[in-house]
Structure 1
Amino acid sequence: MTGFSTLRFARSVAAPVATLWQGWTAPAARAIWAAPSPEVTVEFLEADTPVGGREVSLCHVAGEEDIRCEVVWLVLEPGRRSVNSEVISRGGLTLSAALVTAEVQADGEGARIEVTVQLADLAGGMEAGYRTGFAAGLDNLAGVAGRMMVISRRIEAPVARVWGAWWDADTLPRWWGPDGFSCRTARIDLRAGGEWVFDMIGPDGTVWPNHHRYGAVLPEARIDYALHAGEGGPKHADAWALFLPVEGGTEVTLGMVFASAEEWQGAKGFGAEALGLQTLGKLAALV
């Protein structure tokens, strides 16, 4: 028998609205906080977040058959509201269908997300899983948002030109990095599954080894990548770049989830946000 219920969840987050929004919608961030517990591994097979975009993931639990989750984004009002459908299945059998509405707003110096799930339980027993899963997921999201940096810049050039300056092995090293910094490339292979191994050289000659490892790439829309401290070095952050056509040009958003809160605090102390905006400024000047 099908059961219907409406579930509500809310969390306050010590991060700006724009950061919380990216944490909720950006595939690279969702992949970090989606698993409700350490026993669950979430594998994203497909992820795209424009209106009409689809997200497909598998939840792996040792000794159990995988659970498949298919999401379609129906409404996206950046920094305000999202609506998506969600269908859960196992072994080809549909277990539940839901409509998920999330509303984001400022909350003092931080932000707050309120999620409403309109659930159709087709198999019985799904409501308890939804309550546990969403509660744990929003706890994880709050933690992720607290160690996330998000910066944006509007560039007066079409998406194709901005993308071309970013996703080109000759052009990217010319502008990447803050004012006064240069790049010395050891190896560059710009593709999904590719990498860029390089040194960033500061104005005083200090060398900062870097290694970008690329994940999903959606041409003229999104690049996901991981930042490592040089080849074989520890991972500093999971990052993404979004390219959105807007009136008069392109809005570029750069997001990063740092490996730990301590790493994020260190980056903030180093002026990471200002330096990131300088980097996007160099891109704007080039195009």
Structure 2
Amino acid sequence: MTQNVASNSATRAVPDDRKSRFATLTFERDVAAPLAVLWEAWTAPVARAIWAAPSASVTVEFLEADTRVGGREISLCKVEDQPDIRCENGWLALQPAVCSVNYEVISCEGVTQSAALVTANLSGTHERSRLVVTVQLSSLAQDMEAGYRAGFGAGLDNLAGAAERTMVLQRVIQAPRSIVWGAWMNPETLPQWWGPEGFSCRTKRIDLRTGGEWVFDMIAPDGTVFPNHHLYNEVRPEERIGYTLHWGENGPKHADAWASFEDQDGATKVTLGMVFSTAAEFQEAKGFGAVELGLQTLGKLERFVASR
């Protein structure tokens, strides 16, 4: 019975309007970044906000972002003198560094334009990775296939570039998430452990909330002073922090960063990610040992939490 139905369906003529309404699109990208980094660049809201806009003439404003199964992401795509395009993305499956599945609904001025099922498959090594994205598209108000091909293609090009200048540091800390979060988001305790081995912090102002900032100097063991300015644009208690890093108070931005906190059987997996503003800054940071120094910082956090 099933075979006969399938055979009949395969030979039945499909009207032209239905052909234009449905499409399956596949996009593939090879990325010069580790698999774990590509996964963070694909899923972390801070990173997604960086690569989502397909061109410089488009601004993407994120209204909501909750990257977990059952969570959703809502954004507005803005082009001058045109109505905003609303995109709602709901996460259906997330298997870290392996695959994700989400639905996506596009609307404009209250009219639904399209719905799609987006499946991303990732593979790779500690040096290079590969992303294959399949979009099963249903155009509703108008034919959206050409727009999807152009928009997704440009966005994934941006993603590859962003991933190649992204640094991801992770550590599992043997303490409950509430304790680790409390050590990070407490203006009294954060300066006590922040920074690599031998460094200390001298705070000028600190306000650890959405819209807040931390203006401080990091002082190296040899007395060298490194002015820093963190601007916090998102704080989701016990989940994640999004902020920008600047060279000194109101200085030039050199990275967009996030820290996420994930419960792991009573311990806490901390992920610290940074998308550097340019590839040159990323290479310079790697050159002076930013990965090792960042891991030292997370090690100091672990020791601080253990001593409490």
Structure that is richer in strand per residue: 1
Tell me the TM-score normalized by structure 2. 0.92
Percent identity of equivalent pairs: 67
Once residues 54 and 152 of structure 2 are traced to their aligned partners in structure 1, the CA distance between those partners, rounded to angstroms, is 8
The Cα offsets for residues 196-251 of structure 1, whole Å up to 9 and x where unpaired, read as 00000000000000000001111000000000011011001000001000124000
Does the aligned pair in 1 maintain the 2:235–2:242 contact within 8 Å? yes
**Which residue is 1:226 aligned to?**
244
- How far 1:53 moved relative to its partner? 1.1
**Which residue is 2:7 aligned to?**
none
- How far 1:103 moved relative to its partner? 0.6
The Cα offsets for residues 166-190 of structure 1, whole Å up to 9 and x where unpaired, read as 0000000000000000000000001
**Which residue is 2:13 aligned to?**
none
Does the aligned pair in 2 maintain the 1:225–1:238 contact within 8 Å? yes
Where do residues 195-206 of structure 1 align in structure 2 (5 Å cutoff)?
195-206=213-224
Does the aligned pair in 2 maintain the 1:159–1:220 contact within 8 Å? yes
Does the aligned pair in 2 maintain the 1:72–1:86 contact within 8 Å? yes
- How far 1:14 moved relative to its partner? 0.2
Once residues 215 and 91 of structure 2 are traced to their aligned partners in structure 1, the CA distance between those partners, rounded to angstroms, is 35
Does the aligned pair in 2 maintain the 1:12–1:107 contact within 8 Å? no
**Which residue is 1:274 aligned to?**
292
Tell me the TM-score normalized by structure 1. 0.98
Once residues 87 and 199 of structure 2 are traced to their aligned partners in structure 1, the CA distance between those partners, rounded to angstroms, is 44
The Cα offsets for residues 32-67 of structure 1, whole Å up to 9 and x where unpaired, read as 000001111101111110111111000111111000
Q: 1:285 to 1:107 in 2, by over 3 A?
A: closer
Once residues 221 and 155 of structure 1 are traced to their aligned partners in structure 2, the CA distance between those partners, rounded to angstroms, is 15
Does the aligned pair in 1 maintain the 2:34–2:126 contact within 8 Å? no
Once residues 160 and 195 of structure 2 are traced to their aligned partners in structure 1, the CA distance between those partners, rounded to angstroms, is 29
Q: 1:134 to 1:275 in 2, by over 3 A?
A: same
State how many pairs are aligned: 287
Where do residues 185-264 of structure 1 align in structure 2 (5 Å cutoff)?
185-264=203-282
The Cα offsets for residues 76-101 of structure 1, whole Å up to 9 and x where unpaired, read as 00111000110000000000000100
Residue 284 (structure 2) pairs with residue 283 (structure 1): no
- How far 1:20 moved relative to its partner? 0.3
Once residues 90 and 16 of structure 1 are traced to their aligned partners in structure 2, the CA distance between those partners, rounded to angstroms, is 37
SS of 1:120's partner is: strand
Residue 100 (structure 2) pairs with residue 82 (structure 1): yes
Name which of structure 1's ranges 108-117 and 169-178 shifts more when overlaid on structure 2.
108-117
**Which residue is 1:140 aligned to?**
158
After superposition, the CA RMSD in angstroms is 1.0
Larger Rg: 2
Gap regions ≥5 residues in structure 2: 1-16
Once residues 109 and 174 of structure 1 are traced to their aligned partners in structure 2, the CA distance between those partners, rounded to angstroms, is 34
Residue 91 (structure 2) pairs with residue 73 (structure 1): yes
Once residues 105 and 159 of structure 1 are traced to their aligned partners in structure 2, the CA distance between those partners, rounded to angstroms, is 29
Q: 1:18 to 1:107 in 2, by over 3 A?
A: closer
**Which residue is 2:55 aligned to?**
37
SS of 1:143's partner is: helix
Question: Which of the numbers 122, 128, 131 marks the counterpart of 2:149?
Answer: 131
Gap regions ≥5 residues in structure 1: none
Does the aligned pair in 2 maintain the 1:41–1:59 contact within 8 Å? yes
